[in-house]
Amino acid sequence: MSLRDALRIPASEITEESVWHDRRRLLAALAASPALGLAGCAEAEPTPPPRRPAATPAQVRAGFATREELTRYADVTTYNNFYEFGTGKADPSRAARTLRTAPWSVRVDGECEKPGTVPLEDLLRGLSPEERIYRLRCVEGWSMVIPWLGVPLAAVLERFRPTSKAKYVAFTSLADPRQMPGVRLPVLDWPYREGLRMDEAMHPLAFLVTGLYGKPLPQQNGAPLRLVVPWKYGFKGIKSIVAIRFVARMPPTSWNMAAPEEYGFFSNVNPDVDHPRWSQRTERRIAGSASKLFAERIPTRMFNGYAEQVASLYAGMDLRRWF
């Protein structure tokens, strides 16, 4: 048996993917995204977003479709970044032992008319979960294709009626040392923080995730609620969110605070802008039967392949400066 064969997925694990196939009908039911009231209203720094809608419903639908091979459930759930549980890729998969994900509530405040601390069930009430197959491209040069389950971020944010002063959205993760052993170490300035410009947050591709492969989200992947912004590097996908704040100024973000010359606020996937210590031109896809070690590198695409949908958000911006 060749090494490659030896690394192939055992049949017992393939069943995970049959779950996903059942969920495909969800996609069929996915209607065009409704017009998003707030898209394009923010006069955000450093350049105002375009006045016209960032993406047509047809473009948004095209953004979900992919013929790329899915990353195996086993890899999605054992090869993780979640520093609250340690810096090793296998560390977060032990998170389930300590991270309690129910009851869970999210504090939403700042520049909005209806702030509040809302139980997760209420935050999502009336929003039917959608499946979206999005790529996750990590700044370290690997990527995955994952069938996520969740709701459009815009649909949740609109419930709190952000005002015209809301130019950015800031997200905060739980940071509880009793549940998250990594928080006891000064690896990052806890809690983990992320942010989006308002027009990015309201873009129909931005997604709040509650599950994957048709199942509830595992703790190591950011249960019970995490962000996925498919055209940005994976670290923008903040996990285990406990607070959302509408703000007037660009909010501090964890990786930008830790190393500003390496991680910018926007963090759009861009093969033309290298990380200071390595190239971003190619990625190693963790997918299907290919092993992590021996998968061939593939070219990284601008905006992670979502340029058609999102490039207009950054029209006129110098993406080398605003990386």
| Residues near ligand MTE (CB under 6 A) | 80-84, 136, 138, 173, 192, 221-222, 234-235, 237-240
Instruction: Report the C-alpha dihedral over residues 251, 254, 256, 259, rounded to 10 degrees.
Output: 150
Query: To which residue do tokens 């492969």 refer?
Result: 213
**Please, where are the H alpha helices in the chain?**
3-6, 11-22, 24-29, 57-64, 73-76, 120-124, 153-158, 198-201, 254-258, 307-310
Query: 47: which 2 tokens?
Result: 């350049």
Residue closer to ligand MTE, measured from CB, 33 or 304? 304
Q: Which residue from 189, 91, 141, 145 is spatially nearest to 300, judged by alpha carbons?
A: 141
CB of 222 to ligand MTE, least distance (A): 6
Distance CA 225, CA 6 (A): 35
Strand pairing of 282-285 and 142-152? parallel
Residue closer to ligand MTE, measured from CB, 182 or 204? 182
CB of 84 to ligand MTE, least distance (A): 6
CB of 232 to ligand MTE, least distance (A): 10
Q: Which residue is nearest to ligand MTE (CB)?
A: 234
Tell me the three-class secondary structure of 263-283, residue by residue: CCCCCECCCCCCECCECCCEE
Residue closer to ligand MTE, measured from CB, 41 or 169? 169
Residue closer to ligand MTE, measured from CB, 83 or 207? 83
What would you report as the CA-atom Rg of the chain, rounded to the nearest whole angstrom?
19
CB of 63 to ligand MTE, least distance (A): 19
Residue closer to ligand MTE, measured from CB, 37 or 88? 88
CB of 152 to ligand MTE, least distance (A): 19
CB of 238 to ligand MTE, least distance (A): 5
Residue closer to ligand MTE, measured from CB, 60 or 180? 180
